[in-house]
């Protein structure tokens, strides 16, 4: 991540702490003049639009962690990637189980 900066950006050139990116997605510490960090990216990642559907609590909890005002409390991208991978695996296993149960029910109905 960390793509919201000019292509020719360098830490040394940003001594003035210029702000780059979309205001609605900027982490609070950036607006206070602090440097961009990986935690700043995590804050932006946690922002989400309003949904007209119920979002599972474990997703809401993760979003809240990404939006923590203290950048030190935000999860790192490695943690997020691992968490998403685990969720995908669990979801795949769940759907595989449903598929097997569906086939079992069809077989029992035919017999």
Residues 70 and 81 in one domain: no
Same domain, 44 and 64: yes
Closest to 46 in 3D by CA, of 85, 89, 1, 91: 1
Greatest Cα pair distance, the chain, in angstroms, is 76
pLDDT tens-digit series, residues 41-77 = 888 777 666 666 788 889 989 988 988 889 999 999 9
The alpha helices in the chain, defined as continuous H runs, are 28-31, 38-46, 57-66, 77-110
**Number of domains composing the chain:** 2
- pLDDT tens figures, 14-49: 456 677 677 777 888 888 888 888 888 888 777 666
Shared domain for 48 and 97, answered yes or no, is: no
Residues 71 and 85 placed together within one structural domain of the fold: no
- The domain of 34 spans 1-75
Q: Output the domain CATH number for residue 28.
A: 1.10.510.10
- For residue 4, count other CB atoms closer than 10 A to its CB: 17
């Amino acid at each position: 991540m960390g793509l919201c900066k000019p292509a020719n950006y360098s830490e040394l050139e940003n001594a003035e702490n210029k702000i780059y990116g979309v205001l609605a997605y900027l982490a609070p510490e950036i607006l206070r003049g602090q440097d961009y960090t990986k935690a700043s990216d995590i804050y932006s990642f946690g922002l989400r639009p309003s949904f007209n559907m119920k979002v599972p609590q474990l997703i809401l909890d993760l979003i809240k962690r990404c939006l923590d005002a203290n950048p030190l409390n935000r999860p790192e991208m490695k943690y997020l990637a691992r968490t998403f991978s685990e969720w995908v695996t669990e979801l795949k296993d769940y759907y595989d189980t449903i598929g097997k149960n569906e086939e079992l029910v069809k077989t029992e109905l035919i017999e």
